[in-house]
């Protein structure tokens, strides 16, 4: 009996050993869905609605990825992760891609065995205080008690900022952002701080959002973007070009509404992009040649995604600002498909 078990064990081991060698794309295709790491609920970026459907900018990136791979934007499953758990979940293989308002920093890019594919949202760290505090600038915060998330760039930046300005402070660090904002709401802290987009989102969770204001200072650069494991160049390329496809589509003026019309366009760039000539860009990265068509058709272009999740007409009310295309005065810029 025991002996049989050992043999069985060895067989299992041998099988997993060979499975290890498969590429990320192959494994995903075999599974039939993409496993995408998101936040535990950050409106505008990744947030489950009351029916359990995920929405948000980070979520739509994963849907675009699924559309490119499967031609079906629904073939994706979401794993909610706290800031503290996210990198371990990615490097252990629990998820295929991490799309969770994650800041691209040198440590994360070079020390953790991970690669950032691009910047889907340029952000910076902001601070929120109760209006009753009477503060108008972050420089007046000497002695403040500050609530943050553990395992974020936020908790590091804040230490730097207060040190630079020679101010004292107390840092109260929670694992989950629901508790961070609840503790701030309960009066434990004078300041709530995270990425500005996050501040805008979390502020809506307060009992009286209008009693709180965001200070003008932006104390850091927070380029947020999707992350993949290092060492699989094909998967990295797919991740990166799906993001570029979203930008290029917007630049060409291709939207989910007009993509079929555009597919008949005589413009050679657009034809190439949508896979309507005989160039094989999709196959080059292991996908079908209609990869970009599927992304735009099923999910939309970057501008559409932005507007429906975080733009001025959403509760978050975030202007495009630096996240506009380079042609519109922003810094979102994608290399050409050619």
Partner 1 sequence: MQEDTVRQQSIINKLLYNSTWRGWLFQALVLLGLLGFFSWIIYNTVSNLQRLDKKSGFDFLSQRAGFEILDSPGVRLMDYAPGVSTYLDVFWVGAINTITVAILGIIAATLLGFLIGVMRLSRNRIFSAVATVYVEIFRNIPLLLQLFFWYFFALRAVPELRERWSLFGGLGGINKSGLYLPAPVFEQGFGYVALAFVLGVAGCWLYARFATARQFATGRRPPTLPVYLLLLIGIPLVVFLVQGSPLSWELPVFKEDGPILRRGYQADAGMVLKPEFIGLWLALSLYTASFIAEIVRAGILAVPHGQTEASQALGLSGGMAQRLIIIPQALRVIVPPLTSQFLNLTKNSSLAVAIAYPDIVSVFAGTALNQIGQEIEMIFMMMMLYLILSLLTSLFMNWFNARIRLVER
Ligand X SMILES: N[C@@H](CCC(=O)N[C@@H](CS)C(=O)NCC(=O)O)C(=O)O
Instruction: Please state, in angstroms and rounded to a whole number, the distance separating the CA atoms of residues 95 and 235.
Output: 13
Q: How far apart are the first and last CA of the chain?
A: 61
Q: Which of 103, 193, 289, 309 binds ligand X (CB under 6 A)?
A: 103
For 46, which DSSP code? B
- Residue 177 binds: one of ligand X, partner 1, none (C-beta under 5 to 8 A by kind): ligand X
According to CB under 6 A, which residues from 163 to 182 bind ligand X? 176-177
Residue nearest to ligand X (CB): 198
Nearer to ligand X, 61 or 273 (CB): 61
Q: Going by C-beta distance under 8 Å and a sequence separation of 6 or more, which residues neighbour residue 205?
A: 178, 181, 185
From 51-59, 147-155, 295-303, 304-312, give the range in contact with ligand X by CB under 6 A: 147-155
Which of 24, 115, 120, 149 binds ligand X (CB under 6 A)? It is: 149
Q: Which partner from the list ligand X, partner 1, none does 40 bind, CB cut-off 5 to 8 Å by kind?
A: ligand X
Regarding 20 and contact with partner 1 (CB under 8 A), the answer is: yes
Give just the sign of the alpha carbon dihedral 39, 58, 207, 138: positive
Q: Decide: 27 and 229 in contact? Cβ < 8 Å.
A: no
Sort 188 into a burial class: Cβ within 10 Å, 0-12 / 13-18 / 19+: middle
Torsional class of 44: left (φ above 0), alpha (ψ -120 to 50), beta (otherwise): left
Segment 82-101, which members bind ligand X (CB under 6 A)?
A: 82-83, 101
Please identify, using beta-carbon distances, which residue of 103 and 294 lies nearer to ligand X. 103
- Shortest separation between residue 98's beta carbon and partner 1, angstroms: 13
Could you say which of 35, 152, 220, 309 contacts ligand X (CB under 6 A)?
152
Q: Assess contact for 130 and 210: CB atoms under 8 A.
A: no
The DSSP result for 271-323, as a single string, is: HHHTT-SS--HHHHTTS-TTHHHHHHHHT--HHHHHHHHTSTTSTT----GGG
**Residue for token digits 């630079």?**
164
Site residues for ligand X, 203-242, by CB under 6 A, read 222, 224
Minimum distance from CB of 68 to partner 1 (Å)? 24
List the one residue from 35, 99, 154, 309 that touches ligand X (CB under 6 A): 154
Please choose which of partner 1, ligand X, none residue 125 contacts, taking the beta carbon within 5 to 8 angstroms, the exact cut-off set by kind: none
Helix ranges (DSSP H) in 71-147: 86-91, 106-111
Count other Cβ atoms within 10 Å, centred on residue 204.
12
Binding status of residue 41 toward ligand X by CB under 6 A: yes
Residues 48-87 touching ligand X, rule: CB under 6 A, are: 82-83
Q: Which stretch binds ligand X (CB under 6 A): 4-12, 35-43, 158-166, 322-330?
A: 35-43
Give, as ranges, the residues between 133 and 162 that touch partner 1 (CB under 8 A): 133-135, 140-145, 147, 150-152, 155-156, 158-160
The answer to whether the CB of 25 falls within 8 A of the CB of 234 is: yes
What does the binding site for ligand X look like in residue numbers (CB under 6 A)? 39-42, 82-83, 101-103, 149, 152-154, 176-177, 194-195, 198, 202, 222, 224
């Amino acid at each position: 009996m025991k002996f049989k078990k050992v043999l069985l064990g060895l067989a299992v081991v041998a099988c997993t050993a060979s499975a290890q060698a498969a590429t990320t794309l192959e494994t995903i295709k075999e599974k039939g869905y993409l496993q995408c790491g998101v936040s535990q609920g950050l409106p505008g970026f990744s947030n489950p609605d009351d029916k359990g459907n995920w929405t948000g900018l980070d979520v739509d990136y994963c849907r675009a990825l699924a559309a490119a791979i499967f031609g079906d934007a629904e073939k994706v499953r979401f794993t909610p992760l706290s800031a503290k758990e996210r990198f371990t979940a990615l490097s252990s293989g629990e998820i295929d891609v991490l799309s969770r308002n994650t800041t691209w920093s040198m440590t994360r890019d070079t020390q953790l065995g991970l690669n950032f594919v691009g910047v889907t949202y340029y952000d910076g760290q902001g601070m929120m205080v109760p209006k009753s505090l009477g503060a108008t600038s972050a420089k007046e915060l000497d002695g403040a008690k500050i609530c943050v998330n553990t395992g974020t760039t936020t908790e590091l930046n804040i230490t730097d900022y207060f040190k630079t300005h020679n101010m004292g402070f107390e840092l109260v660090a929670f694992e989950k952002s629901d508790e961070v904002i609840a503790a701030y709401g309960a009066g434990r802290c004078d300041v709530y701080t995270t990425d500005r987009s996050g501040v805008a989102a979390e502020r809506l969770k307060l009992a009286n959002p209008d009693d709180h204001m965001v200070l003008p200072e932006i104390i850091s650069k927070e380029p947020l973007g999707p992350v993949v494991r290092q060492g699989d160049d094909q998967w990295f390329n797919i991740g990166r070009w799906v993001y570029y496809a979203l930008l290029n589509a917007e630049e060409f003026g291709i939207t989910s509404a007009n993509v079929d019309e555009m597919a008949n366009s005589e413009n050679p760039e657009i034809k190439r992009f949508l896979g309507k000539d005989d160039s094989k860009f999709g196959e080059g990265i292991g996908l079908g040649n209609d990869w970009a068509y599927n992304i735009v058709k099923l999910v939309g272009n970057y501008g559409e995604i932005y507007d429906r999740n975080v733009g001025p007409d959403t509760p978050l009310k975030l202007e495009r600002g630096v996240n506009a295309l380079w042609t519109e005065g922003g810094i979102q810029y994608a290399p050409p498909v050619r």
